[in-house]
Amino acid sequence: MPPEISRADVARLASLARIELTDEELDHLAPQLAVILESVAKVSEVADADVPPTSHAVPLSNVYRADELRPGLTPEEALAGAPEVEDQRFAVPRILGEEA
């Protein structure tokens, strides 16, 4: 069953991904993505329930660092690329936030 992905779906995903797509892009992307999705959908055919997933190519585990201080960046270095700085902090436009 080929997956259906509508323009509205793409708009919703763009919002989740914080990209303000233009109308033109929204027009183009949906069919392009549908084609790609169709070709990748076949993975679900062959992926049996009892096949364990691979999240890491190399079977490492328990890699830690000691709880020690290491030199970091100076505030100047940290803020060097910032679009806007105020009071040694990153200045950003007003955040909509979680309070009504």
Q: Copy the structure tokens of residue 86.
A: 């105020």
Chain positions 81 to 100 lying near another protein, rule: CB under 8 A, are 81-84, 86-100
Chain positions 31 to 50 lying near another protein, rule: CB under 8 A, are 32-33, 35-37, 39-44, 46-48
> Is residue 23 involved in binding another protein (CB under 8 A)?
no
**Contact pattern for another protein over residues 51 through 80, marking x by CB under 8 A:** xxxxxxxx-xxxxxxxxxxxxxxxx-xxxx
Residue 66 beta carbon to another protein: minimum distance, rounded to whole angstroms? 6
Size of the site for another protein (CB under 8 A): 77
DSSP characters for 2-35?
-----HHHHHHHHHHTT----HHHHHHHHHHHHH
Q: Are 13 and 25 in contact (CB under 8 A)?
A: no
Residue 37 beta carbon to another protein: minimum distance, rounded to whole angstroms? 8
Instruction: Compute the distance between CA of residue 75 and CA of residue 23 in angstroms, rounded to an integer.
Output: 41
